[in-house]
Amino acid sequence: MTTIKASCPSCGDVELTPPQVRLVVCSVKAWSYYAFTCGSCLEEVRKPAGRDVVALLISGGVIAEPWSVPAEALEEHTGPALSYDDVRDSEYGYGWRIDVLRDGTKIVYHAGLWRGYNSLYVRRLEDKTSIIVLSNKVNWSFRNIGRMFGIIDSKDIDAAELGGN
Ligand SMILES: [Zn+2]
C-alpha cells in the first residue's frame, strides 16, 4: 500500500496510508483540503489541497470526496443583515440548521460525523447558551435538544433520567 508522507504542526513528519487521509475536493478550488488524525498527538490536521496535492493524493489511492458549494452560498448579500426569521423557512442558513423547540425556543445547531465520532453544537439564541457534545459512542439521544437545555436550566430533570434515552 502507498505510504503518504505529511506533517503534523506539533509532531513533525508522519506516515499515513490512503484510508487515513480524507480528501475533500471543493467546487471552490481554494477550499479543497485534506485531513488526517495524527497518530502521536491525536489532533486532526487539516491542510489546503491545491490541484497538485489533490492529484498526488488521488494517484496514491486516496478517495476524493466531492464538496459542491451551492451557488447561492457564494452570492454577495446587499442590504440589511439577515435575521433569524428571514432564513427560518429554509431551515438552513449560514451553515446552521434552524429550528424552534416545542416550547418556542429558537435554536441553531449542526451535527457532525467522522469515522465513529459524533458531535453536536446547539445554540439557544435568546440567551446565547451553547451546548457542545463530543462522543465516540452515540445512541442519538443526545439529539434531544430540549432535554439537554432542561438539564442546563435544571427544569424538572430527574438525575435518573440522565442515563436513559
Ligand atoms: Zn501530532
Q: From ligand 1's centre to the CA of 34, what distance in Å?
A: 15
- Residue for grid cell 423557512: 89
Q: From ligand 1's centre to the CA of 7, what distance in Å?
A: 8
- Residue for grid cell 496510508: 17
- pLDDT attached to residue 100: 86
Q: From ligand 1's centre to the CA of 26, what distance in Å?
A: 25
Q: From ligand 1's centre to the CA of 137, what distance in Å?
A: 24
pLDDT tens digits for range 118-151 = 888 999 999 999 999 888 876 667 667 888 888 8
- pLDDT attached to residue 31: 94
Q: From ligand 1's centre to the CA of 20, what distance in Å?
A: 14
pLDDT tens digits for range 86-111 = 777 778 877 888 888 888 888 999 98
Domain boundaries, the chain: 4-67, 83-158
This prediction's pTM: 0.52
Query: CA-CA distance, 15 to 42, in Å (whole number)?
Result: 14
